[in-house]
Amino acid sequence: MSVVRTQGLRKTFGSVRALDGLDLTVEPGTVFGFLGPNGAGKTTTIRILAGLARPTSGRALVLGEDIATARRAVAGRIGYLPEEPALYPWMTACELLDYIGRVFGLATGEREARTKELLDLVGLTQASGRRIGGFSRGMRQRLGLAQALVNRPEVLFLDEPLSAFDPAGRKEALELIGRLRGRCTVFMSTHILTDVERVCDTVGVINHGRMVVEAQREELIARYAVPVFRIEADSGSVGQITAWAETLRALSWVTAVSVDGTTARVVVNNVETAKKELLALAVQARLVLTLYEMVRPSLEDVFLQLVGEGKEAE
């Protein structure tokens, strides 16, 4: 039985339609990656599933309960971390987790043990006695993740949980999320596609309030696999490769182009044409190439195709 399901979910704010008949299903014990461009409806969906907003129409079911009518019954069985967690700045990390434990009705001994366990889990043991008001954004995000886990939730909703972390902190947080697989269901919205590739079992792509596609990660990449060419120029060619990428976007056999520094990734819909013309066009643009190869498509390439932004620069 699915633990999270929406059916024809709609949410409007005046004339703005944030969700437009959203359907999704999340299986128990999995890590679900919820992807979409800014304004696609990710945060609205999570707020409805967490019982913090009501849909205009449609249904949202969590743990078999309609969240609109059974919010109190479900609240103690889920965890929620917003993108910007609201934490009491005058409390210490220990005091906050103890307070959350009281809210969930944990006994004194259990609160103490759980607080110690979670502070160690998120790497805040040494900062446990410091006031939250002096925490960095990354530290607040770590503490927010800890408070979302106090009640050992069956479903954990995470809204852009990794955006505040540095690379080392992101790696640790991803490992933690991965360890939750099988112990609880994780529903994670993010725009960091490499994180989804590393930790998520299933991916749902939303755009304009509707589900574009939902599938297992590898199935998604395989289904929409298209050839990708990777071209790297020397360090002095940033301006040249950017201008070259602009000319490629106008070609019918080019699906998507993204540029990062002196590296371009070109997604094509006609491999034979690309093999004949792409390198010649690079030479014509007087690019000094250090790498030219055809590579396996990434989730980013699939995402750009699905949301219709393939011709936009990254």
Over the stretch 140-160, which tens digit does the pLDDT of each residue have? 999 999 999 999 999 999 999
Distance CA 18, CA 7 (A): 15
Beta carbons of 43 and 230 less than 8 angstroms apart = no
**Minimum mean pLDDT range among 68-72, 81-85, 193-197, 259-263:** 193-197
* CATH superfamily placement of domain 4-217: P-loop containing nucleotide triphosphate hydrolases (3.40.50.300)
Confidence at 223, pLDDT banded by 50, 70, 90: confident
Q: Looking at this protein, which amino acid is placed at residue 161?
A: P
Q: Which two tokens stand for residue 244?
A: 């070259």
Whole-prediction pTM = 0.78
Does residue 295 have a pLDDT over 70?
A: yes
Task: Please answer whether residues 264 and 258 qualify as being in contact, where contact means their C-beta atoms are separated by less than 8 angstroms.
Answer: yes
Confidence grade of residue 308 (pLDDT, cut at 50, 70, 90): low
Secondary structure, 3-state, 281-292? HHHHCCCCEEEE
Q: What is the DSSP letter of 91?
A: S
Chain segment 47-94, per-residue pLDDT in tens? 999 999 999 999 999 999 999 899 988 999 999 999 888 899 999 999
Contact between 105 and 136 under an 8 Å Cβ cutoff? The reply is: no
Q: Taking all residues of the chain, what is their mean pLDDT, rounded to a whole number?
A: 89
Whole-number Å distance between alpha carbons of 278 and 23: 40
- R_g of the chain, CA atoms, integer Å: 22
Rounded percentage of the chain residues whose pLDDT exceeds 90? 64
Contact 30, 185 (CB under 8 A): yes
| pLDDT surpassing 80 at residue 299 | no
Please report the pLDDT score of residue 314 as a whole number: 33
Cα 227 from chain centroid (whole Å): 24
Structure tokens belonging to residue 257: 């182009």
Domain ranges (residues) in the chain? 4-217, 224-306
Q: What b/e sequence results for 288-304 when a residue is b if at least 16 CB atoms lie within 10 Å of its CB, and e otherwise?
A: eeeeeeeeebbbbbbbb
| b (16+ CB within 10 A) / e for 124-149 | beebbeeebeebeebbbbbbbbbbbb
Give the mean model confidence (pLDDT) for residues 240-258: 91
What pLDDT, on a 0 to 100 scale, did the predictor assign at position 196? 84
**CA–CA dist 214, 224 (Å, integer):** 12
Q: Is the pLDDT of residue 311 over 50?
A: no
Cα–chain center distance at 156: 13
> Would you tell me which CATH number, out of the four given (3.20.20.330, 1.10.10.60, 3.40.1710.10, 3.30.70.920), belongs to the domain 224-306?
3.30.70.920
For the residues 101-128, what does the mean pLDDT come to? Answer: 95
CA 95 to CA 101: how far, in whole Å? 10
Band of pLDDT at residue 128, cut at 50, 70 and 90: very high
Q: How confident is the model at residue 163 (pLDDT cuts 50, 70, 90)?
A: confident
- Three-state DSSP at 164 gives coil
